[in-house]
Amino acid sequence: MKITHIYHSGFVIELHDSVLIFDWYSGDLPAFDPAKNVYVFVTHGHADHYSTRIWSLQNKLDHVSYILDCCTAPERKGDTILHVQPGRHYQMQNIQVFAIRSNDEGVAYAVSAEGFNFFHAGDLNVWHWNDASERDNAYSLKIYRRQLEKISGLYYDVAMIPLDPRLGENAPRAIEEFFRNVHCRGLFPMHYWNRREEAATYLEDDRLTPYRKQIHFERQAEI
């Protein structure tokens, strides 16, 4: 499979027969076979995760379907458009989707396709802010761990997890917690906008040392 990090939380995963596109709102899509089955995922409607540009793909691709959280573009209807609720499992053509609750907005996705398992966290993160109350930070961590419990039964080939530089020394906590709770072959940090160099420094955190070989920070990888 080929994984391309487009920008921020946007990814394209190309498989033999399918292409999965997650939270694409900025940047250019990589080239792929337009005859493949394309699935476009939107975790929530924040401007850094959703853009109306995704709908233009209907005019360019032979087979494109959309999976969105229930609050994003609810006016869009059709057989190729699925709005999801957290805590529910869905089948769309040949892929399986499990939507779980975010501790920010919308959902995170566990997706099974062509024998592989993928997880895109959206804005599910350890939102530990230095200027927030201890209670709020503890609640964020509690919800994050509780949601990971819901997906821990599978082995994931690829996971996409926030590494947000705005959180300072707390930025790596979501990745650390994910590896502690979920088995995963390859993890791609995300949600760092154009602060790539700064985000890279947090990957050197000692808490991530046991998992360093499983973390990918390249723009494109084949695993």
What torsion do the CA atoms of 127, 108, 187, 14 make, to the nearest 10 degrees?
A: -150
Q: Could you identify the residue written with the tokens 């761990």?
A: 145
Within the chain, strands assigned E span 2-7, 10-14, 18-22, 37-42, 63-69, 81-84, 88-92, 95-101, 107-113, 116-120, 155-162, 183-190, 220-222
Q: Report the 10 Å Cβ neighbour count for 2.
A: 14
Residue type for position 25:
Y
What torsion do the CA atoms of 25, 31, 36, 41 make, to the nearest 10 degrees?
A: -20
For residue 57, give both structure tokens: 């793909």
End-to-end CA distance of the chain: 6
Give, for all 223 residues of the chain, the pLDDT tens digit: 999 999 999 999 999 999 999 999 999 999 999 999 999 999 999 999 999 999 999 999 999 999 999 999 999 999 999 999 999 999 999 999 999 999 999 999 999 999 999 999 999 999 999 999 999 999 999 999 999 999 999 999 999 999 999 999 999 999 999 999 999 999 999 999 999 999 999 999 999 999 999 999 999 999 8
Q: Is 208 helix (H, G, I), strand (E, B) or coil?
A: helix
Buried b (16+ CB within 10 A) or exposed e, 37-65: bbbbbbbbebebbbeeebeebeeebeebb
DSSP 85: -
What torsion do the CA atoms of 124, 128, 134, 139 make, to the nearest 10 degrees?
A: 10
What's the pTM?
0.98
For residue 47, give both structure tokens: 């401007």
